Structure formats: structure tokens, C-alpha cells
Amino acid sequence: MKKSKVLIVGSMAFDNIKTHKSSVKNVLGGSASYSSIAASFFSKPKVIAVVGEDFTKKHIKPFHDCGVDTSCIEVKEGKTFTWAASYDKDFKNATTLSTELNVFADFAPVVKKEDEAPQALFLANISPKLQLDVLKQVKKPRLVACDTMNLWIQNNKPQLVKLLKSMDIIFVNEAEARQLTGVYNLIKAGKTILKMGPKIVVIKLGPNGALLLTKDAMFQVPPFLVEDPIDTTGAGDTFGGGFVGYLASVNNWNNLKHIKKALAYGTVLASFAIESFSVKKLAQVKPEDLKKRFELYAKACSF
């Protein structure tokens, strides 16, 4: 079977992460990294991103292991975007210790001629201005999704609102949904976001799963339980990438049966992502591991 091509634009980073149990330095991170590897389980992702000269073969290996097309990752003079953060016990809060944008500061994603017509486009978490730039460069794909964050809602809301008019799917977390709408009640916040354009609003609930709204339906799904997360960085990007990657692989993505399956696959992939630092565990997941965990999840949710 020929896999659908999913174009993913986002950040690639080196993460320095400190948890209550241990810490790592300069591990692969970034929204494009987690989401493209997650999408690779169902589709053929191609990543548009920028890295510095310090980005080595070691860093590119997980992408190649997963069949992610890295030919549009631009290597620029300078250092790779670096993010340092520490989590408190049980991953209640992440505190950003430092953000060095480096080559990411001037990221200007370019879509090559041959990539102008992807089946799906996932605008992972980068500035809405860049997300709009990319959108302009492609012929409207069958499926367009975006992620965002508090920083953009605060500083670039007009661009984000403009972007949302063209989106099929938006991913936000609880705080972002409330920040974007000024509405605390998550169902009402989700409905308010639906009115801004997207056909599907997915509110990621962290350890409590996810809430999904369309014009006609809403679902909340539980998490796949992980007793001892190692590092929750990238869980949301993984969820989004898995969700979009799965929907890109089906003929009629705007079908509730598929949408629910996408929710389940996103959830299950996120559970792998938090079982290691970086994409280590996620990139090693085999199709049979995914199938097994999906079945466990579906069984746990059946009454």
C-alpha cells in the first residue's frame, strides 16, 4: 500500500530536560520531531524544519528509522534551537529554564515544488505567521491541521484567528482553549473555537485524555494509563502527529468512526512517548506494539 504523504512543518530542537528523577542534555526534541515520528506509523511524513550545524547523523537516525523524509530539513550555519526545562514531581508543571532560538529565529519554511500537493498538512507548533506562510505555498490538501501554544495566542492572535479559518483540525490544551476563547467551560470553549473555522477541535487534557468536538458530536476519551512517566515532553505533539497521520491514511477522514480511531491512536502513541526521554521509545515502537496497546486501550474502553 502506498502511504499518504503528510507534510509536517514545525520545530526541531535540542532539549535539556530535568525531571525529579533524572536529567538529559541535548536530546532530540521539537514539535516536528515528535509529530513526524508519530505520523510515520500510518503515513509517509516529510518534515520542513531548520537545524544548525551541530545537528548530527545521530540526531537524524530516528527519523530515518521511521521512514520520515528529512530531505527538507535545512541545515543552517549556527546552532540548533535549544530548550531547557524542568518538571516538578509527577509532571504537574514544566518550567522553561532557557530558550535559545539560534537558527530557528529566522526560520522561513519553504515548500518545494514537488511538495506543493500533500495529502495532508500538519502545521505543528510554530508561530501562526509561519503557519500561514506555509499554507499559502500549498494547494489545499485533503486535510489541514495545526497546533499552537500560549505564546502565539498572547502575541499573534490575529494571525492565529486568520489561520483557523482554513483549518480542518486544531489541537489545543485546556489552558490554551480557555486563553483563546476567554471561556472556562471546556465544552463551550471548544464550541467557540469551532465557530472560528476548524471542523474538529481537539482539547488535549494531559493525564485525563482528550476532548474532541465537531459541529455534530463530542467525545472525551481517557488516557492510556502510564504509572511512571519518564518525561512528558512532546506528548501533545506525538498525539497530534499520530492523529493527523492516521486520518491522512484513510479515504474519508471526516467520518466519526475514523476520527475516534485517530483519537485512540494519538492517545496510545503519546503513552509511548512519555515512557522515555526524547523520541527514544516512540521511534522504537513496532507496528505490533502499537496494535497491542491499541487493542488494550479499546478493550479498557468497552462496556
Is residue 116 within 8 A of residue 138, CB to CB? The reply is yes
80 versus 271: smaller Cβ distance to a copy of itself: 271
Interface with a copy of itself includes 67 (CB under 8 A)?
no
Which of 200, 191, 297, 203 shows the shortest CA–CA distance to 255?
200
3 state SS for 108-155: CCCCCHHHCCCCEEEECCCCHHHHHHHHHHCCCCCEEEEECCHHHHHH
How many residues bind to a copy of itself according to rule CB under 8 A? 32
218 versus 290: smaller Cβ distance to a copy of itself: 218
- The Cα-based distances of 297 to 8, 24, 171, 241 in angstroms read 27, 30, 21, 19
Cell 504523504, located at residue: 5
Interface with a copy of itself includes 252 (CB under 8 A)?
no
Interface with a copy of itself includes 75 (CB under 8 A)?
no
Give the separation between CA 296 and CA 265, rounded to whole angstroms: 12
Is residue 190 within 8 A of residue 203, CB to CB? The reply is yes
Interface with a copy of itself includes 209 (CB under 8 A)?
yes
Stretch that binds a copy of itself, among 70-78, 135-143, 208-216, 235-243 (CB under 8 A): 208-216
Q: Would you give the binding string for a copy of itself spanning residues 159-188, x where CB under 8 A is met? A: -------------------------xxxxx
Copy the grid coordinates of residue 170.
486544531
Among 219, 250, 276, 289, binds a copy of itself (CB under 8 A): 219
Interface with a copy of itself includes 302 (CB under 8 A)?
yes
Interface with a copy of itself includes 218 (CB under 8 A)?
yes
Give the interface with a copy of itself as residue ranges (CB under 8 A): 89-90, 92, 184-188, 205, 207-209, 211, 218-223, 225, 227, 260-261, 263-264, 294, 297-298, 300-303
